[in-house]
Amino acid sequence: MRLDIAPRRLATPPGEPVALAVEISNTGDVISGYTVRVLGADPSWVRVDEPQPRLFPGESTTVGILLSPPDSLPAGERRIAVQVRELSGSRRTSVEEVVLEVPERRDLAVTLDPTTVHAGRRGTYGVFLENRGNTTVAGRVVGTDPERRITFRFDPPGFALAPGEHAVLELRASARRRMFGAVEARTFELRVDDGRRPAPPQPELAPVPGTSGSATAPVTSHALDAPASDGVPPDAMGVLVQ
């Protein structure tokens, strides 16, 4: 039996199947059957078009394998193997390795709850983060407002989420309110800074009163700390009514 597989390395675009061609040659002198299996992959995303071919002596055939990995497959290299077992003759078994290159799919959902807070000087929100992609996402959330009147404090100041994980941050938004006049609704935007675009350094943390020098307060973020939007919609929006 002779076995050849092409390609040996292939990329797996999100949502698209990829194909392998397995060429089997009967080098023996009797008719032989074969079984074709894929090892190291969930059977639900593997399809073999002819899992048990039969060949005359000297005959060859090509078996197609279609791989449809789920979007949740972790990013990076994944090794699988194609096993072909001869059912007669020498009953030889051949195993050949194939490398799947799974690209990063970044999908971080950001939800602000509540979206509107009626407050005096300061309003408190919950920022819910959920990593729906296939790679770890780490960074911080920053806030901006058109008037640059609001100070944003996030606790904890940063996050690191593996695929499928979630986290909750507390946001305290504060601004000086009018002494007299109508109520003001201050809109603001939240964006995730994950280091993929240039951004000013994170502000230094101030010591928490009444604690040792190693303790720090949550990050205070102003409009100038936010990464440039480049026309990209914000990850979340909110309103502080004062």
Question: Locate tokens 């690191």: which residue?
Answer: 160
pLDDT of residue 195: 81
With a cut of 70, say whether residue 216 has pLDDT above it.
no
Question: Locate tokens 């935007």: which residue?
Answer: 189
Look up residue 51 and give its two tokens: 């899992």
Q: Of 191, 185, 170, 196, give the one whose Cα is nearest residue 237.
A: 191
For 52-61, the pLDDT digits (tens) are 999 999 999 9
Number of helical (H) and strand (E) elements in the chain, helices listed first: 0, 19
Please report, to the nearest 10 degrees, the dihedral formed by the alpha carbons of residues 213, 219, 224, 227 taken in order: 120
Backbone angles phi, psi at 101, to 5 degrees: -100, 105
The DSSP code for 196 is S
Is residue 87 within 8 Å of 33, Cβ to Cβ? yes
Is residue 242 within 8 Å of 184, Cβ to Cβ? yes
For 112-125, the pLDDT digits (tens) are 999 999 988 899 99
For 9-54, the pLDDT digits (tens) are 999 888 889 999 999 999 988 999 999 999 999 999 999 999 999 9
Q: Of 38, 43, 47, 39, give the one whose Cα is nearest residue 18.
A: 47
The DSSP code for 157 is S
Tell me how far apart the alpha carbons of residues 102 and 43 are, in angstroms, rounded to a whole number: 18
Is residue 203 within 8 Å of 196, Cβ to Cβ? no
Tell me how far apart the alpha carbons of residues 102 and 55 are, in angstroms, rounded to a whole number: 35
Is residue 67 within 8 Å of 100, Cβ to Cβ? yes
Average the pLDDT over each of 7-11, 142-146, 224-228 and give the range with the smallest value. 224-228
pTM given for the model = 0.71
Cα→Cα distances 208→159, 193, 219, Å: 20, 25, 12
Look up residue 120 and give its two tokens: 């005096």
